[in-house]
Amino acid sequence: MGYAGNDDQKKEFETRKIKIDVLQLKRPSGIDVIMKKNLPEEYDYVIIGSGFGGSVSALRLSEKGYKVLVIEKGKWWEGKDFPKTNWNLKKWLWMPTLGLRGFFKITLFKHVGALSGVGVGGGSLVYANTLPRPASKFFNSGNWAGLAEWEKELEPHYKEAERMLGVAKSPQFFDADLALLDVAKSLGKGSKFEAPNVSVFFGKGGGKDEKEVPDPYFNGEGPSRTGCVFCGQCMTGCPNNAKNSLDKNYLYLAQKSGAKILAGKKVTIVKPVAAPDGADGYLVTYKNSTSFLKKESKTVKAKGVIFSGGVFGTVRLLLNMKKKKLLSNLSPAVGDHIRTNNESLIFVVSRKKDVDFSKGIAIGSIFPPNEDGHLEAVRYGEGSGFWRVSSLPLVFGSNVFVRLGKLFTKLITHPVDWLRLYFTKNYSRKTMILLFMQHLDSTLRFKRGLFGMTSSVSTGKKPTPFIPLAKELAERTSEMVNGNEYSFLTEALTGAPSTAHILGGAVIGSSPEKGVIDKDQKVFGYKNMYVCDGSAISANPGVNPSLSITAMTERAMNKIPYKQ
């Protein structure tokens, strides 16, 4: 089509026409708009879980310039949101099918019962703040033995983890700690008794006069804090802004560095975009984890994926993806080498009227009764007496019939001792929990069953709650405090131990036949895929493992280069 005007008018017309044509070329068509709208949002890394591994990954990757998304199935929690006691099951327990949307999860298997945390900050919301380093045996045993000089390589990362988590020692001992000191002295171990490293801000030294102060850890870049008042509520959620949970350090700083955190979302699918080894990236699908009315799912794209959902999140998801052949390159060792930290939890309920075992921090003292184990005094805050309904007098026996017989005998011969468990006033003030852990090793294997994961013995002896030394220590403690010993009823009925430190299932190995991840925690068979959580722990630490998970993740993230 031409133009019939003079030369100047014709030139102006042609110029306008060119501009219009260019604009039309730049303007997306309706189809283009729809296609772009349906494309998944893209990230450099998607991190599944926000516990000790996920939080470290989020901060370090964000600092290196990567676009990071953290997906957490639990909720955000603040001090004012936590339950005052563990009788408030709706706020304490995580059982969304029953309408309980708290942060404490109980998972039962044939061979073990495990306690874990759910929420933004993962296990740090519910754990006992305790951050000891394991003995040298840990670094030279298990699946990862000999693959690196672990103790030497991890040393700087342990130091960084301690700095980030605000490690300190409690400035005071209380009744439960003093009782444990008496036990240590009676065994000739008084010199080994100490306050463990804990992740708590003590302010001026603790007390009701503690005031909120500006960030004491990160040159003013972190949140303001308040000193500990020793209320004992660490494991039901610190209401006083003193516990150094991950939302106050790693995750807080990660968000300031640009990381995005999605709470209340559960990842259901992880699969490669195109290349089977994930070289082209991954598609990650998630859905609402707390609502059963709104289950619509959403998919995002990531160049890399980091599994940090703990054993029950990571191992379960990996097993599901392997079964569905979405991650068919995964090692056959997925779900194997599960460790329970070989621990025992025993309740000691005192008859004394003048003791208050609820006062202090969750774990304020520790000592090694022998070269393979550690004993800690654990407490809940005043009013938290839920565990009494799930406990029975402590009995040992080779099978359930022997144990039931002993329980019946105790009921007949010592009915008052039995009933005291259920009718003691101020239960948490009268009760101290003995946590005994040891380095001795045995492993389980988790597999996909008809109704979810099932457990079986993999190596060594079947885990047991019936540890003779733990029983001896509990009886000795009972004598010191004029009390009685009790255990979880599941242990008496099933013979399966309870643990707050379920580990392994995606361990480090020299090859896919011996482990799921390599020494840098990269998943065998896949590009840019990592496991950074308790399921990567590849030996039995014999102490609380949170610091080790943090240090191992610091090392793994340190090996990832800055974004170009």
* Residues annotated as catalytic (active site), given as ranges: 501
**Cα separation of 404 and 562, whole Å?**
60
Secondary structure (3-state) at 535: helix
How far is residue 387 from each of residues 138, 167, 379, measured CA to CA in Å? 31, 29, 12
**Cα separation of 377 and 541, whole Å?**
18
Cβ proximity of 473 and 375 under 8 Å = yes
**Cα separation of 229 and 207, whole Å?**
5
Interior/surface letters 443-480, b for 16+ CB within 10 angstroms, e for the rest: bbbbebeeeebebeebeeeebbbbbeebbebbbbbbeb
- At residue 465's C-alpha, the angle toward residues 462 and 466, to 5°, is 95
> What secondary structure, in 3-state letters, does 341-374 show?
CCEEEEEEEECCCCCCCCCECCEEEEECCCCCEE
Tokens for 137, please give them. 């045996």
How far is residue 12 from each of residues 7, 15, 20, 26, 563, measured CA to CA in Å? 9, 5, 12, 22, 48
Strand-pairing partners, residue 212, are 226
Cβ proximity of 392 and 211 under 8 Å = no
Q: Report the largest interatomic distance among the alpha carbons of the chain, rounded to a whole angstrom.
A: 119
**Cα separation of 210 and 245, whole Å?**
19
Helix-then-strand count for the chain, H and E: 16, 24
CB contact set of 228 (below 8 Å; sequence gap of 6+): 200, 201, 202, 203, 206, 210, 240, 242, 243, 361
